[in-house]
Amino acid sequence: HAKSDGRKRERFFAGEMEAQMQLRHALEADLRAAIEKEEFELHYQPLYDLSQRRICGFEALIRWNHPIRGRVAPIDFIPFAEEVGLIVDIGRWVLRRACSDAAEWPEDIKVAVNVSATQFSSSDLTRDVGEALATASLSPLRLELEITESVLMENLGEVLPILHALKERGIRISMDDFGTGYSSLSYLSSFPFDKIKIDKSFVNDIVDNKEAHAIMHAIILLGDALGMRVTVEGVETAEQLALLECEECDEIQGYHISRPRPALDVPHLLSLPRNGGATPLPSH
């Protein structure tokens, strides 16, 4: 009995695994077709300069409008796209689209693009970035690349020269999701990042919790001491904004300023008085 049960279980797992494989193949085929079928879209979320009290840039965030599944969030396909290497083609598309969109914006508005580790290891990122900028006639000074520490963990020796080459061209490099990894602090000394983006998990309790406030205060001081611009992600309330204004925080990003919006909405966001349009906020 035991033997035949074992075989049944084996068959069951084999069937299960095959179903999984088929799902993955279907997803891969869908993803492969998505670029050509123009199913990807970039949404833009404002980066808000606290001392100037206006939008100083936008982060490009990819959206996948799947014909059957509807809007698919990046968390549900970016990790898979990284695994199967499709992120290289998708990333190239993102760079091109983001640069050509940004070329339509005022000259003092930057664009931030997320870059995965795979783009460093299995493609010529410097060339792809150069081509995207040239095609759009966008100044490299207006482009920021956001990387997470996983990019550095992957292969520091390979990644550092690429980062330096990009930086030499005037492109700015930000460390994204700062504080969430295993060893964010040690990576701060391995490359002169232009900016750190403190992860939204650190902002949640800053208004009500003294310890959370103290940690935020310390991270901002650290970034400042290292000569990096400091952005806080995930700011959702006026109280959080007010608290961060009192710290040496340079920039915020979050639903309180705006959710990520389609490219068409960028001119409107820029025209709002509080975001740098006609009537500036009275300073207090």
* Residues at the contact surface with Mg ion, assessed by CB under 5 A: 114, 146, 176-177, 233
Between 74 and 280, CB nearer to ligand C2E? 74
Between 80 and 191, CB nearer to ligand C2E? 80
Partner interacting with residue 255 (select from ligand C2E, Mg ion, none; CB below 5-8 Å by kind): ligand C2E
Between 220 and 241, CB nearer to ligand C2E? 241
Partner interacting with residue 275 (select from ligand C2E, Mg ion, none; CB below 5-8 Å by kind): none
Q: How far is the CB of 114 from ligand C2E (least distance, A)?
A: 4
Between 30 and 146, CB nearer to Mg ion? 146
Fill in the DSSP letter of residue 52: T
The span from the CA of 96 to the CA of 107, in Å, is: 18
The span from the CA of 180 to the CA of 67, in Å, is: 34
Between 72 and 188, CB nearer to ligand C2E? 72
The span from the CA of 138 to the CA of 98, in Å, is: 10
The span from the CA of 17 to the CA of 28, in Å, is: 16
If residue 189 lies in a helix (H) or strand (E), which one and from where to where?
A: none
Q: How far is the CB of 99 from ligand C2E (least distance, A)?
A: 13
Tokens of 133: 């900028």
CA 81, 163, 107, 244 dihedral sign is positive
DSSP 222-271: HHHHTT-EEEEE---SHHHHHHHHHTT--EEESTTT---EEGGGHHHHHH
Between 188 and 252, CB nearer to ligand C2E? 252
Q: How far is the CB of 40 from ligand C2E (least distance, A)?
A: 9
CB atoms within 10 A of CB 196: 25
Partner interacting with residue 234 (select from ligand C2E, Mg ion, none; CB below 5-8 Å by kind): ligand C2E
Q: How far is the CB of 33 from ligand C2E (least distance, A)?
A: 18
Tokens of 97: 């689209």
Pairing of the two strands 172-178 and 110-114: unpaired
Partner interacting with residue 73 (select from Mg ion, ligand C2E, none; CB below 5-8 Å by kind): ligand C2E
Q: How far is the CB of 199 from ligand C2E (least distance, A)?
A: 7
Residues at the site binding ligand C2E, with contacts judged by CB under 6 A: 45, 60-62, 73-75, 78, 91, 94, 114-116, 146, 176-177, 200, 233-236, 253-255, 260
If residue 4 lies in a helix (H) or strand (E), which one and from where to where?
A: helix 2-36
Q: How far is the CB of 236 from ligand C2E (least distance, A)?
A: 4
CB atoms within 10 A of CB 13: 10
Partner interacting with residue 94 (select from Mg ion, ligand C2E, none; CB below 5-8 Å by kind): ligand C2E
